[in-house]
Structure 1
């Protein structure tokens, strides 16, 4: 574990830099708003019929698009009310510092949309030199983990920092740094893959989805080892229903896999009870913080999948979750809200 022996001024400076860079460096989405569909409601819709299921998927795809806001009061949150409930992380920085005094800060960072901007080509989601420099400085002071839906190897190639913990595939592929700052330097690094048995199935589904969706212009299928991502950021909206039907035609043959929704992406994952929240808990346990109160976790993310981690922090009553978002969202758990600036 990385020990944080810095004086308060250094600790404060590094944490401030981390929060400022991550919540400020992202390119703002188009000047529209954002709506979200209740996960419970979505699951209920999925159980009604094939037609209703398809419609629910398309509605969820629309909800993930920041360009899809309606001006009607029933679909838009009151901005002022939202800001009162979820104040800016930067404006609350002194309170965060006060709450963390005397405790070991542990940093958890999403990748896409948090450390890197959301881009049309997911293979080009590069983080800036400034961001990499900031993350490196943070990792020198606090244990730091990247928690992403991406394949762990791909995230590592983007970040290129060996001193971090990496949790890829929504936490289903976890690896600690090769060299850890403790007395037992020769021990094997922490590795955890709770869905290993699904690897052949995931590969099979990936190949089928590549073949099935090739007729939809702009669709991109990505193999993230323990999950498959179907990106529709470059797909015309009129083709979304067709794409959802293609995904459904493949997924219906695999009852051990489930569909989840991210930002302009459909995620096919194993049905095991594992997500970014579970990954956060596993990493805290690996770091020795499972049953103690002298640590302070900070999780920064922008996606629906990060809400599982926000909920864990809320339930534990420890640390802070910080949402990187320009617009209010309905289904969020214990987050601090910040408008990205550029």
Structure 2
């Protein structure tokens, strides 16, 4: 059973994910309605934290890159200099990075231009998509056999169906490399069915089964229903102590409590590529969400490669550089591909 303090903390995080996900929503009206909705559920410290979160989003309206986190486009030449003599490996989140954030998660399509750029990148560098989505779903969006796919926040990893010279093996079918949470599948499916029924009472809520984790999307949920949604999710989760609740951009994530995340996933992939503890590799990780911070932390702690945060607002991050949106991500990847081609 989870304590009431944990429930309250999760509600705060739910609100944080809303306020940080869109600048336009961070208005004085949102501030007032948020406090009214959550006021009865939070302690004084948590109320102050919630108030600060909404105000911070207001202050960042139209904000530029935070000091110490310059644009990856402006610093491209410096980045290339630091990668000299090393193998560049590219890691990419999907939603909000390769595709725009949309109201319906089933319609998060990449542009044709982005797919062409990504295909070029995958031919030139070892490339992996590391996402909270299940592999099958993100593959339907991407449809490129040259890349590694790490779905469910890295809990389901498969290799490329098309072997490149920088990837080991000549398998014609995607190889399941790692599934550390396979024993949780029955529990995940059970909770999914319960949440689907619970969310029928919350207009606009959508539950997505990502195989080894679940996502409760509230992008289309009215503010007046936030409290009810958070309480419904927590009422289910407190019966499953082996599952934990995290948050992203207008989404609540439900995952196994195992010590595995996107950071662990990129470490595993680097090892699979033969670069474990190597000083001759330069990983580049680009992502926009809270869950990508685990990968940024790994690269920063190793002093290896760079993390690039995709964000339109100023925020604390372990990334080194920033990009504004998927359009700038495409520009950065195109420049990276052109550099590689011109190198030879």
Using the TM superposition, give the Cα deviation of residue 51 of structure 1 relative to its aligned residue in structure 2, in angstroms. Answer: 6.2
Provide the TM-score with structure 2 as the length reference.
0.80
Q: 2:26 aligns with which of 58, 69, 73?
A: 69
Deviation at residue 101 of structure 1 after TM alignment: 1.2
Aligned 1:241-256 pairs, distance under 5 A: 241-256=227-242
Q: What value does the CA root-mean-square deviation take over the aligned residues?
A: 2.4
How many residue pairs get matched?
A: 296
**Whose helix proportion is higher, 1 or 2?**
2
Q: Distance in 2 between matches of 1:191 and 1:284?
A: 12
Match of 1:234 in 2: 220
Using the alignment, how far apart are the partners of 1:55 and 1:202 within structure 2? Answer: 21
- Cα deviation, residue 185, structure 1: 1.9
Runs of 4+ in 1 over 6 A off after TM superposition: 71-74, 78-81
User: Is 1:115–2:71 an aligned residue pair?
Assistant: no
Q: Compute the displacement of 1:272 (Å).
A: 0.3
Q: Aligned to 1:83, what secondary structure does the other structure show?
A: coil
Are positions 1:178 and 2:161 aligned together?
A: yes
Query: Which of residues 282, 300, 303 in structure 2 aligns to 1:296?
Result: 282
CA distance in 1, matches of 2:213, 2:7: 25
Partner of 1:193: 179
CA distance in 2, matches of 1:152, 1:220: 19
SS of corresponding position for 1:242: helix
Which sections of structure 1, spanning at least 5 residues, go unmatched?
1-45
Cα deviation for residue 292 of structure 1 reads 1.2
Summarize the alignment of residues 217-232 of structure 1 with structure 2, pairs less than 5 Å apart: 217-232=203-218
1:211 aligns with 2:211: no
Which whole-Å deviations, capped at 9, do the CAs of 1:144-175 have from their partners, x for residues lacking one? 00000000110001000011000000000000
- Please state if 1:339 is matched with 2:295: no
SS in 2 for 1:198: helix
**Would the alpha carbon gap of residues 70 and 138 (structure 1) be closer, same or farther in structure 2, given more than 3 Å must change?**
same
Contact 1:57 1:244 in 2 (8 A): no
SS at match of 2:190: helix
TM-score between both structures, scaled by the size of structure 1 = 0.80
- Listed one character per residue, the Cα deviations across residues 31-61 of structure 1 (whole Å, up to 9, x for unaligned) are xxxxxxxxxxxxxxx8663663464244334
Alpha carbons 1:79, 1:328 under 8 Å: kept: no
